[in-house]
Amino acid sequence: MDVSFIKSAFDKSHYPPPDRPEIAFAGKSNVGKSSLLNVIVNRKKMARTSSTPGRTQALNFFNVGNGRLYLVDLPGYGFARVPLKVKASWGKMVELYLKSRNNLKAVVVIMDIRRDISPDDRALIEWLFEYNIKLIPVFTKSDKLKKQRRAARLRDLKKDLSSISPERPILFSAHTRKGREEVWERIEEVIKI
């Protein structure tokens, strides 16, 4: 797949032109966002992965398919070990992006299947719903649970998610690549809308 890094943006003036559909990726720090991005574009190091949460500190824009669309890696939220002042600026930066980007077609909200839906996840999903931004929920790290436990967690998380969004979640594993095709199918669906 043809993919290239365009730029990092800390402010609206740094965004590339809104001349193609855009899909953003959001999730708590250390949820596997960079790994998911790398798997869906078949690149090992497109998005930087790290064992230290909070490494993505800007909006990172990637050109996919010879200018067909942008993928945008948003800074992680939650428990990143960064100063509160920096966390607050990230929140403002992401909110401004989500509110002002007219070519934004959907946000892939990434959550760890082993964890409950966090207050930060819930707030983001409710905000997307309120502003009529399409949600693609993805539960990562599915390979970390045995089949029976994975099925039980997915059932519980679907029930919890249904209280805030009607969207069906995708089960994903960067290790086995399970869910990769389904993520692309959902992206293709929203791009056509």
pLDDT tens track for 175-191? 999 999 999 999 999 99
105: left (phi over 0), alpha (psi -120 to 50) or beta: alpha
Q: Is 188 helix (H, G, I), strand (E, B) or coil?
A: helix
Q: Give the Cα separation of 23 and 70 in Å (integer).
A: 6
For residues 39 and 174, is the Cβ–Cβ distance under 8 A? yes
The reported pLDDT for the residue numbered 29 is: 81
Average pLDDT over residues 164-174: 93
Average pLDDT over residues 117-131: 88
The reported pLDDT for the residue numbered 52 is: 43
Strand 59-64: give its sheet, edge to edge: 3-9, 59-64, 69-73, 22-27, 104-112, 134-140, 170-171
Highest mean pLDDT among 50-59, 72-81, 94-103: 94-103
In this prediction the pTM is 0.90
For residues 63 and 6, is the Cβ–Cβ distance under 8 A? yes
* 176: exposed, middle or buried (Cβ count in 10 Å: 0-12, 13-18, 19+): exposed
Where in the sequence is the domain holding 25, given as residue range(s)?
3-192
The yes-or-no verdict on residue 159 having pLDDT over 90 is: yes
> Residue 106 — pLDDT band, cuts 50, 70, 90?
very high
Total structural domains within the chain: 1
- Residue 112: which CATH number? 3.40.50.300
Secondary structure percentages of the chain, helix, strand, coil, to 5: 35, 25, 40
